[in-house]
Chain A
Amino acid sequence: MDNRQKEINNLKDYKYGFSTDIENIQAPKGLNEDVIKFISNIKKEPTWMLEFRLKAFERFKVLKEPDWQKPKFPKIDYQDLYYYSAPKSMKDKPKSLDELDPKLLETYKKLGIPLQEQARLNGIAVDAVFDSVSVATTFKDELTKQGIIFCPISEAIQNHPELVKKYLGSVIPTSDHFFATLNSAVFTDGSFVYIPEGVRCPMELSTYFRINASNTGQFERTLIIADKGSYVSYLEGCTAPMRDENQLHAANVELVALDDAEIKYSTVQNWYPGDQDGKGGIYNFVTKRGLCKGKNSKISWTQVETGSAITWKYPSCILKGDNSVGEFYSIAITNNHQKADTGTKMIHLGKNTKSKIISKGISAGNSDMTYRGLVDISSKAKNSTNYTQCDSLLMGNKCGAHTVPYIKNKNSESNIAHEATTSKISEEQLHYCQQRGLNPEEAVGLIVNGFCKEVLQQLPMEFAVEAQKLVGISLEGSVG
């Protein structure tokens, strides 16, 4: 058996599907003001933060769950969820990794994310989020030397209130849509990044999200601020145990890029997708939005979406500053009974703004995939351009692939070009590969990787290798 085959066999089953038996502190079940106060209290938050949450909750009460999306799901009972769950050992925050519960260390080791810095050779700073709390952040000292702040958002609220106050909710306000507002009211933890003026972040920053407790929703919030002339590349990974129930993950991610700053945000999303019959899996309803606030700023989203029972998200860019650039690269793969409704929004407000969208969708088995996107060039966004390409591959006749782009051009000096294709893997290509000795699965893997190449190239090295493997594995069993 060759190495690749071994690897596939190892990975064939969702290898992150284990759960850690650990004692938890949980908020009382349900959603009400007391629970919000409980969360705020346990995190020792200042009053303004509690007010922010309560304001969002007031608004949440009048909002209705949206129903325009393609993947339908049974009604979620928001009163039947735990909104806060944290390992007991995290109550009094351990000062260093040596004090951290060995069970947690073990969990992350199993996931391939060793938290001991010496074990890391590739120099990526990691913030590990376990259910509702951040358990550890690595390489903190080295980053502090450059003035970079990289810490759990709950710590930032305590230590850098001026920054959090200024930017939290500036891109996704408390008055936003249903899931974003829910997150504003009950968010528990997440990462906070601040890159000071003129600093190029020396290493990749990364957050690793893990859902462990059952019946729990994960609501994390990430806020990244790149000050004038700075650069940061940020990675996000996620896994969850295999459970029969559907778990809700409703995160908010806000990015702010000031003059000449650049943020690169990459996601490899591998939440538990449910079993072959579509039982269980994560509902991944995430709001991600970036604001190119300053001139010449740039925000680039790259996502590889292979997990989750339902993925429903549209990482967006608001191109407010003149000459700002927004990019979106996406691979979404659905297999078995997975469903995805994903895409992006590019909102051009400033002059000479540019955006580029490359989306690759692959659906197999009984799955269903939708690309939904918006390109909106306002009348003030003179001389702006957009290029969109969305391609879909279908494998088998039980799956679906849909494209729903909205294109609005209100400016005669701007150009929009959009193209989309849907097809299957051609027999000729398969034949060619097999003729040269590849088995059908390898051939499909090769062709699909070629199909996705434009997006995979955008990922940082370590992620690209992992993502490439993931692409092959997600399609296991869909050929033949």
Chain B
Amino acid sequence: MKEQLQKDFYNSIKNLSLSQKDIEIKKFCLDNFIDKGFPNRKEEDWKFSDLNQIIKNNIGELSFYNDQTSTNKVDTSVFVDGLEHNKIVFINGRIEKIDFEYEKKDQIEIIDQSETINEFKNSNSLSDLNNAFTNKCFKILVKKGYQLVKPLIIYHTTNSKICAKNINLRLNFELDKDSSLRLIDLFNDASEKNFLNIFYNFELKENAVLKNYKVDKFENKNIKYSFNNIDQDKNSISETFILSSGSNFSKNEINCNLNGVYASAFVNGVFSLNNDKHHEIRSIINHLTENTKSYQLIKSVLDESSKAVYQGKIFVNSDAQKTDGYQLSKAILLNKESEFNAKPELEIYADDVKCSHGSASGSLNEDSIFYLMSRGLSYQQSRELLINGFLLDVVEKITDSEIKNLIKNMLGIKE
């Protein structure tokens, strides 16, 4: 893999206008990655999902060079109907379109940061890989007091032209004081056997509100890793919703730092899996100052030989008195081959806190099915009703009604 990496690296920096210093940094990251490789089971964070093995078994040889000199045609048929929205379109990892047609132009700034490489605080081998190979990076700045009228949808589209490629993406967001942003990540894949490595960084200033919905619904044979870092100032709110369903393998990591008082973070997730899919959510909520709050709810429905993993951590610093942290994960295993693993972790250094977590997994309740069947529903209908009700609980947590309906439609849940 080493030769391949080095060859691809020189091919990809060839077309970029980088300073000597930037090349040095990228090289340093590349060497780090070559040193560490893809994460494997030996690392605590990857205990339940060995990415190294997964890539080996599903992709085989991976190529890291993406020819991004020619443009791709934007296929408008993938756009969401019935919901007016702003767009950012990625096709095969190349940014094709940034369009904030519904917003005041002077309130949003799009800054090209391709030339500056910003280090992630908690770096791992995948962030090194991302640093070494991302060649376009934008920062989206929402200015003070501006609240976006329409949601922003980021389309992650891949077509059949690419196969066995590694795609690295990076976006930075800054929400200034009193601003707000609704953001949907929508995955549309017509390709297979690619590895997507996505890093987002959010900076929320005082009173800012971020709502991020990640929707991976459509069947595909790709492998995805996504990392969100969220830094929150006083009074800010972040809401993250993850619908984890379509890809062969997917891991979403949320790292949230509650730096300012009264900041709060909500992480909700749904795993709806079948076949041999293997999905994971890992969340780390760092309560770093007093009076902060976090709430997490993860529900899974696992069919056939699918596997879901939830690793959630609540960290409470010794200064973070009056913290309120809550975490609940529930799973229904529909098939004897399916598997659910959880590691709900609490690390607490302050005494005046209220932290709790719960985790439950098991089969569908036969008594409930019996109840519904005795009232005239078929077995299949009762099962569906129960599963929908189970998942609806999480979907109902979405605070934006437009987007809630969109996601309900996607899941086929009717009330």
Binding site for B on A (CB under 8 A): 68, 379, 392, 394-424
Contact = CB atoms under 8 A, between A and B. Distances in A.
Given A397-B321, A403-B357, A412-B333, A420 B347 contact: no
Contacts of A402: 345-348
Given A398-B318, A418-B359, A419-B356, A411 B333 contact: yes
Contacts of A405: 342-345, 359
Nearest to B331: A409
Contacts of B351: 394-397, 399, 424
27 contacts: A379-B336, A397-B321, A397-B350, A397-B351, A397-B352, A399-B351, A401-B346, A401-B348, A402-B346, A402-B347, A403-B346, A403-B357, A405-B342, A405-B344, A405-B345, A406-B342, A407-B340, A407-B359, A408-B340, A411-B336, A413-B336, A413-B363, A415-B363, A418-B342, A418-B358, A418-B360, A422-B356
A421 B359 CA distance: 12
A416 B348 contact: no
A399 B339 CA distance: 36
A17 B362 CA distance: 50
A170 B356 CA distance: 38
Nearest to A407: B342
B336 A406 contact: no
B232 to A, nearest CB: 22
Contacts of A424: 351-353
Nearest to A411: B336
B72 interface: no
A398 B318 CA distance: 7
A370 to B, nearest CB: 9
B95 interface: no
| Secondary structure dominating the interface of B | strand
A142 B370 CA distance: 57
B290 to A, nearest CB: 11
A407 B331 CA distance: 12
Contacts of A422: 346, 348, 353-356
Interface residues of B, number: 35
B361 interface: yes
B193 to A, nearest CB: 27
Contact of B363 (A394, A399, A412): A412
| Secondary structure dominating the interface of A | strand
Interface of B: 44, 318, 321, 331, 333-363
Contacts of B350: 394, 397
Contacts of B353: 394, 422-424
B211 to A, nearest CB: 29
Given A399-B349, A408-B341, A418-B359, 16 more contacts: A394-B350, A395-B351, A400-B347, A400-B349, A403-B346, A405-B359, A407-B343, A407-B359, A409-B341, A412-B336, A413-B336, A416-B362, A418-B344, A420-B357, A422-B354, A423-B355
A266 to B, nearest CB: 27
Nearest to A419: B358
A395 B351 CA distance: 6
A415 B332 CA distance: 9
A402 B325 CA distance: 13
Nearest to A377: B361
B280 to A, nearest CB: 13
A111 B42 CA distance: 46
B409 to A, nearest CB: 29
List the 3 closest pairs (A to B, CB-CB), nearest first. A415-B362, A412-B333, A394-B351
B352 to A, nearest CB: 6
Contacts of A404: 343, 345-346
A410 B352 CA distance: 37
Nearest to A364: B351
A180 B358 CA distance: 33
A80 B19 CA distance: 56
A419 B342 CA distance: 12
Nearest to B362: A415
Contacts of B363: 412-415
Contacts of B321: 397
A413 B334 CA distance: 9
A409 B348 contact: no
A432 B342 CA distance: 39
A409 B340 contact: yes
A410 B339 CA distance: 4
A414 B345 contact: no
Contacts of B337: 379
Contacts of A396: 351
A371 to B, nearest CB: 9
Contact of A423 (B44, B354, B357): B354
Nearest to B335: A412
A419 B357 contact: yes
A401 B354 CA distance: 12
A391 to B, nearest CB: 9
B359 A416 contact: yes
Interface centre among B334, B339, B346, B356 (most CB of A within 10 A): B346
A412 B338 CA distance: 7
B333 A420 contact: no
B334 A412 contact: yes
Nearest to A403: B346
Contacts of A419: 356-359
A423 B348 CA distance: 10
A476 to B, nearest CB: 18
A185 to B, nearest CB: 27
A97 B170 CA distance: 77
Contacts of B344: 403, 405, 407, 418, 420
Contacts of A407: 340-344, 359, 361
A423 B338 CA distance: 35
A34 B401 CA distance: 76
Contacts of B348: 392, 394, 400-402, 422
A439 B361 CA distance: 44
Contacts of A395: 351
A167 B345 CA distance: 36
Nearest to B327: A420
